[in-house]
């Protein structure tokens, strides 16, 4: 009975998540004109496969083994299911029939329905298979893909965005450097900061310091202050400079510690 | 990319459909957390992050999961509306999937997590709210002006970063073990001569040789 229940629930969950993952990913190719749901790494990796169905499939497959292992071991799908497996497999399925990425991978409607189907299959499969996958395949995938993806996300992407910002003009280069450095320290990855630097730099280039750009600048500062606070960066920073942490700051942190 | 005609009025591209999109995703992810809570399988997140929720479920504190998830969610909502891509991992998978359930469980409100239909509904409402906030923020910032805010710069950088993946996989395979390195070189060469991106060939080659010459994780 439990098996049937898990099966039925998995079909619904897989359909919902797959539909949204596919639609969100396809909308990324039209961002920022269209608000999308996805991740810069998904965007970069899907472009890396250059519209080749075999590449999309094998890229997804590598992470699928990893996700399967993690599900069997700990019950956790890993974020790769929504970030990598579903969008890449959906793209692969669509590209087999039509090579034009504008009519397939970039089309939210086609991606949504294909991804919903793939999501159902993947989630049902992961939730119902308790049997182990060949250990050697899973370890190879982990040992090869994970370090490569981490290098891409933590080193290569920040540098490319950074250099693009510097080439795009003095203002975006300046703010990308300031925010990129800060976000590498506070958020652990420089890409969000560099992107915000380009945003504010080009925004001011095109509009000047008007109300809109001022509001955006304030929001970015607030974003950094809040991220720093919730990640405990403020206390770490004060301690690193060998200064005493003020009592009010300590008690403020105590307030937000949900026990 | 600019060459494509986009009908911004249609459901698939419009601003108003974005909250629905986030709502569907959140409903599925929140229900995934329900699955994990009930059956121990099906959470849409990394082992390390799910472990924080697990710590609370096993009688410890939900504090870590709640603070981690909630701060991620908040930061990503601001970032997402400015950049045009809402980060799925931080906002939905970690924020809605881990942070919000942890807050609910920490105050003893278990119903949205233990009841499947309630979980779907809770996720849907949370997602609609998050998507709605982002759409509103966009309406008063990005959409009010004709400026591109450097979108072309970002898209260009996003596109070129993908090209690095193939060589990176080869380097990583080469350091994993000699057979895996050789397998990945052969795979990449075949794909290159076949005029395909080398990333796919490098992975497949590495996995084939890795199956015959297994390595250990540490």
Q: Which of A124-128, A177-181, A224-228, B19-23 has the lowest mean pLDDT?
A: A224-228
Pair (B108, B175) in one structural domain: no
Pair (B35, B101) in one structural domain: yes
Residue B149 within any structural domain of the chain? no
Question: What contacts A19, CB < 8 A, 6 or more positions away?
Answer: A112, A113, A115, A116, A119, B24
Give the number of C-alpha atoms closer than 13 A to the C-alpha of residue B36, restricted to the C-beta side: 33
Listing DSSP states for A186-222 in one string gives HTS-SHHHHHHHHHHHHHHHHH-S-HHHHHHHHHHHH
A84 has pLDDT over 50: yes
Closest CA to A90 of A127, A115, A68: A115
Residue B4 within any structural domain of the chain? no
B218 has pLDDT over 60: no
Q: Does B63 touch chain A (CB under 8 A)?
A: yes
Q: Can you tell me the distance from the alpha carbon of A35 to that of A133, in angstroms, rounded to the nearest whole number?
A: 38
Pair (B50, B88) in one structural domain: yes
Instruction: Say what the pLDDT of residue B138 is.
Output: 81
Instruction: Say what the pLDDT of residue B71 is.
Output: 67
Interface contact flag, A137 B169, Cβ < 8 Å:
no
Of the pLDDT bands very low, low, confident and very high (cuts 50, 70, 90), residue B160 is: confident
B143 has pLDDT over 80: no
Pair (B196, B121) in one structural domain: no
Of the pLDDT bands very low, low, confident and very high (cuts 50, 70, 90), residue A150 is: confident
Of the pLDDT bands very low, low, confident and very high (cuts 50, 70, 90), residue A154 is: confident
Instruction: Say what the pLDDT of residue B5 is.
Output: 57
B202-217 pLDDT tens trace: 888 888 888 888 887 6
Interface contact flag, A17 B44, Cβ < 8 Å:
yes
Of the pLDDT bands very low, low, confident and very high (cuts 50, 70, 90), residue B144 is: low
Residue B211 has its nearest CB partner, among A15, A136, A230, at A136
C-alpha distance from B78 to closest chain A C-alpha (Å): 7
Residue B76 within any structural domain of the chain? yes
B100 has pLDDT over 60: yes
Of the pLDDT bands very low, low, confident and very high (cuts 50, 70, 90), residue B58 is: confident
A180 has pLDDT over 90: yes
Q: What is the mean pLDDT of residues B126-142?
A: 86
Residue B191 within any structural domain of the chain? yes
CB A222 within 8 A of CB A207: no
Q: What is the mean pLDDT of residues B23-27?
A: 96
Instruction: Say what the pLDDT of residue A114 is.
Output: 95
Rounded to the nearest integer, the mean pLDDT of chain B is: 83
A165-171, long-range: CB < 8 A, 24+ apart: A165/A194, A165/A197, A165/A198, A165/A201, A165/B150, A165/B153, A165/B157, A168/A198, A168/A201, A168/A202, A168/B150, A168/B153, A169/A201, A169/A202, A169/A205, A171/A201, A171/A202, A171/A204, A171/A205
A31-53 pLDDT tens trace: 777 889 988 878 888 888 888 89
Residue A139 has its nearest CB partner, among B50, B200, B215, at B215
Residues of B in contact with A206 (CB under 8 A): 145, 147-149
Instruction: Say what the pLDDT of residue A258 is.
Output: 47
| Through-space distance between the first and last CA atoms of chain A, rounded to whole angstroms | 36
Pair (B29, B74) in one structural domain: yes
A131 has pLDDT over 70: no
Higher pLDDT, B149 or A101: A101
Interface contact flag, B161 A31, Cβ < 8 Å:
no
Q: Is the ipTM of this complex over 0.90?
A: no
Pair (B71, B128) in one structural domain: yes
Q: Does A73 touch chain B (CB under 8 A)?
A: yes
Pair (B132, B69) in one structural domain: yes
Instruction: Say what the pLDDT of residue B6 is.
Output: 64
Residue B56's domain comprises 17-144
CB B91 within 8 A of CB B80: yes
Residues of B in contact with A207 (CB under 8 A): 145, 147
Q: Can you tell me the distance from the alpha carbon of A41 to that of B132, in angstroms, rounded to the nearest whole number?
A: 24
Closest CA to B93 of B41, B22, B19: B22
Q: How many domains does chain B have?
A: 2
Of the pLDDT bands very low, low, confident and very high (cuts 50, 70, 90), residue A108 is: very high
Instruction: Say what the pLDDT of residue B145 is.
Output: 60
Residue B193 within any structural domain of the chain? yes
Instruction: Say what the pLDDT of residue A121 is.
Output: 95
Interface contact flag, B149 A126, Cβ < 8 Å:
no
Pair (B106, B36) in one structural domain: yes
A232 has pLDDT over 90: no
Of the pLDDT bands very low, low, confident and very high (cuts 50, 70, 90), residue A153 is: confident
Instruction: Say what the pLDDT of residue B214 is.
Output: 83
A259 has pLDDT over 50: no
- Best A76, A107, A130, A160 residue to mutate vs chain B (most B CBs within 10 Å): A76
Pair (B129, B169) in one structural domain: no
Instruction: Say what the pLDDT of residue A159 is.
Output: 93
C-alpha distance from A241 to closest chain B C-alpha (Å): 25
B174-183 pLDDT tens trace: 999 999 999 9
Pair (B107, B187) in one structural domain: no
Q: Taking CA atoms, what residue in B is nearest to A39?
A: B87
Instruction: Say what the pLDDT of residue B2 is.
Output: 40
Residues of B in contact with A43 (CB under 8 A): 85, 158, 162
B120-129 pLDDT tens trace: 999 999 999 9
Residue B65 within any structural domain of the chain? yes
Q: Burial-class residue A246 by CB neighbours within 10 Å (0-12, 13-18, 19+).
A: exposed
Instruction: Say what the pLDDT of residue B74 is.
Output: 73
Higher pLDDT, A258 or A2: A2
**Which 12-71 residues of chain A touch chain B by CB within 8 A?**
12-17, 19-21, 23-24, 27-40, 42-50, 52, 54-59, 61-62, 65, 70-71
Distances (CA, A) of A209 to A175, A180, A215: 14, 21, 10
Residue B24 has its nearest CB partner, among A20, A32, A219, at A20
pTM: 0.73
Q: What is the mean pLDDT of residues A84-111?
A: 92
């Amino acid at each position: 009975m439990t098996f049937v229940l898990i099966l039925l629930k998995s079909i619904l969950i897989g359909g919902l998540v797959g539909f949204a993952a596919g639609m969100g990913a396809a909308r990324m190719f039209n961002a920022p004109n269209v608000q999308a749901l996805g991740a810069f790494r998904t965007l970069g990796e899907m472009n890396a496969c250059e519209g080749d169905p075999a590449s999309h499939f094998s890229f997804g497959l590598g992470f699928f083994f990893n996700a399967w292992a993690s599900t069997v071991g700990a019950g956790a799908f890993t974020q790769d299911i929504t970030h990598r497996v579903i969008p890449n497999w959906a793209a692969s399925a669509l590209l087999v029939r039509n090579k034009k990425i504008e009519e397939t991978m970039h089309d939210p409607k086609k991606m949504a329905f294909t991804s919903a189907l793939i999501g159902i299959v993947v989630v049902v499969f992961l939730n119902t298979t308790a049997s182990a996958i060949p250990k050697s395949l899973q370890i190879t995938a982990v040992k090869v893909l994970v370090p490569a993806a981490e290098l891409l996300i933590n080193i290569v992407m920040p540098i490319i965005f950074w250099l693009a910002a510097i080439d795009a003009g003095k203002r975006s280069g300046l703010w990308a450097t300031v925010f990129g450095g800060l976000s590498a320290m506070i958020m652990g990855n420089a890409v969000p900061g560099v992107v915000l630097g380009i945003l504010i730099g080009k925004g001011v280039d095109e509009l000047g310091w008007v109300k809109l750009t001022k509001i955006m600048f304030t929001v970015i500062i607030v974003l950094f202050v809040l991220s720093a606070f919730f990640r405990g960066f403020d206390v770490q920073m004060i301690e690193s400079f060998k200064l005493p942490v003020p009592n009010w700051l300590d008690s403020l942190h105590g307030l937000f510690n949900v026990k | 990319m600019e060459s494509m005609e986009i009908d911004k009025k249609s459901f698939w591209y419009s601003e108003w459909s974005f909250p629905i999109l986030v709502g569907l995703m959140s409903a599925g992810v929140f229900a995934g957390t329900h699955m994990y809570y009930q059956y121990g399988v099906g959470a849409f997140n990394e082992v390390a992050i799910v472990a924080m929720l697990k710590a609370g479920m096993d009688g410890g504190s939900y504090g870590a999961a709640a603070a981690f998830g909630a701060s991620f969610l908040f930061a990503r909502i601001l970032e997402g509306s400015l950049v045009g891509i809402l980060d799925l991992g931080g906002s939905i998978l970690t924020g809605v999937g881990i942070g919000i359930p942890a807050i609910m469980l920490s105050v003893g409100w278990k119903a949205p997590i233990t009841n499947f239909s309630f979980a779907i509904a809770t996720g849907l409402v949370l997602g609609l709210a998050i998507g709605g906030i982002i759409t509103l923020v966009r309406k008063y910032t990005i959409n009010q002006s004709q400026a591109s805010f450097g979108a072309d710069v970002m898209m260009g950088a996003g596109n070129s970063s993908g090209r690095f993946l193939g060589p990176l996989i080869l380097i990583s395979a080469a350091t994993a073990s000699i057979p895996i390195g050789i397998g990945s070189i052969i795979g990449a060469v075949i794909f290159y001569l076949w005029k395909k991106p080398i990333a796919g060939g490098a992975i497949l080659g590495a996995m084939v040789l890795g199956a015959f010459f297994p390595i250990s994780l540490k």
